[in-house]
């Protein structure tokens, strides 16, 4: 099975403050050549919506989307940044990632972090969820803890957010139990499972079985395949997605199920 019609909704590219393997144009060019339907560019330090718009124009036939991560670089829980990103065409807003208090705790980093239970963030978070709901954007959970995610989901639903994508539940900083994933799947959440933790640049922290195992238990119907690659020293995003597709087929999923996970489950949320 090739990548025709597939979408990678979590890719890193240059320009960025971290070393990246490809820039936006090379990323889009390679994805288009592979027959992919689209990619979504993510940056931990700013909005990618404007960049995505340019890359889309230069690669006819391929959609490139962008989003915004609520890290310190954009003011953390900053409703104004979310409003501007939405107006610029962003399709996903992520909760904090590298600046999340949970991420810093897991990685032993001692600096101020962003947490949902911080009283200073509560009013702004309500405004942010309202903006996401009004523009019908995807809410990505970033690097929040399981406890924070369980607190966020009902608040987001109450605010009218329809599309909640659990960011890499298998990641070391998340480690979301399958029972919790089933609970969130029943509540309409979807799960972005990423390939990057099997790759050299991250030290092959997980095996393909670790990444794919929960899909059978939680369901391909709620699964979104993504790579989260683009790091210098890693395979290209196209190579990473092909490896992920091949691993899913080897694990016993058929091509129709893989296509749903690799395209349909995210396409209907990006439209």
**Is the per-residue pLDDT at 12 higher than 90?**
yes
What is the predicted pLDDT for the residue at 30? 98
SS3 content of the chain, % helix, strand, coil (to 5): 45, 15, 40
271 pLDDT tier (thresholds 50, 70, 90): confident
Whether the ω angle into residue 15 lies within 30 degrees of 0, i.e. cis, is: yes
Tell me the C-alpha distance between 202 and 197, whole Å.
Answer: 6
247 pLDDT tier (thresholds 50, 70, 90): very high
| Cα atoms in the 13 Å half-sphere on the side-chain side of 75 | 12
Share of the chain above pLDDT 90, in %: 96
Burial 1-11 (b: 16+ CB within 10 A, else e): eebeebbbbbb
| CATH code reported for the domain at 7-270 | 3.20.20.140
What is the predicted pLDDT for the residue at 16? 96
- Please report, for the chain, the start and end positions of each structural domain, with discontinuous segments joined by +: 7-270
Report field, pTM of the whole predicted structure over 0.95: yes
167 pLDDT tier (thresholds 50, 70, 90): very high
């Amino acid at each position: 099975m090739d990548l025709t019609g597939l979408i990678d909704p979590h890719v890193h590219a240059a320009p960025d403050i971290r070393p990246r393997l490809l820039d936006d144009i090379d990323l889009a060019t390679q994805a288009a050549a592979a027959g992919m339907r689209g990619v979504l560019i993510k940056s931990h330090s700013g909005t990618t919506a404007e960049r995505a718009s340019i890359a889309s124009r230069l690669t006819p036939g391929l959609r490139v989307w962008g989003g915004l991560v609520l890290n310190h670089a954009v003011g953390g829980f900053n409703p104004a940044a979310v409003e501007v990103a939405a107006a610029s065409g962003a399709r996903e807003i992520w909760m904090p990632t590298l600046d999340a208090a949970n991420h810093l705790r897991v990685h032993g980093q001692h600096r101020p972090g962003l947490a949902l239970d911080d009283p200073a963030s509560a009013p702004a978070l309500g405004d942010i969820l309202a903006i996401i709901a009004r523009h019908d954007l995807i809410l990505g959970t970033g690097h929040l803890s399981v406890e924070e995610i369980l607190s966020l989901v009902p608040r987001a639903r109450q605010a009218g957010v329809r599309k909640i994508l659990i960011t890499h539940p298998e990641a070391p900083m998340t480690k979301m139990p399958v029972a919790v994933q089933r609970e969130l799947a029943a509540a309409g959440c979807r799960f972005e499972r990423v390939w990057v933790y099997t790759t050299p640049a991250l030290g092959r922290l997980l095996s393909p079985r670790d990444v794919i195992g929960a899909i059978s238990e939680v369901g391909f119907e709620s699964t979104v395949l993504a790579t989260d690659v683009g790091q210098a020293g890693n395979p290209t995003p196209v190579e990473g997605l092909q490896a992920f597709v091949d691993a899913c087929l080897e694990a016993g999923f058929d091509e129709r199920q893989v296509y749903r996970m690799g395209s349909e489950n995210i396409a209907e949320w990006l439209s």
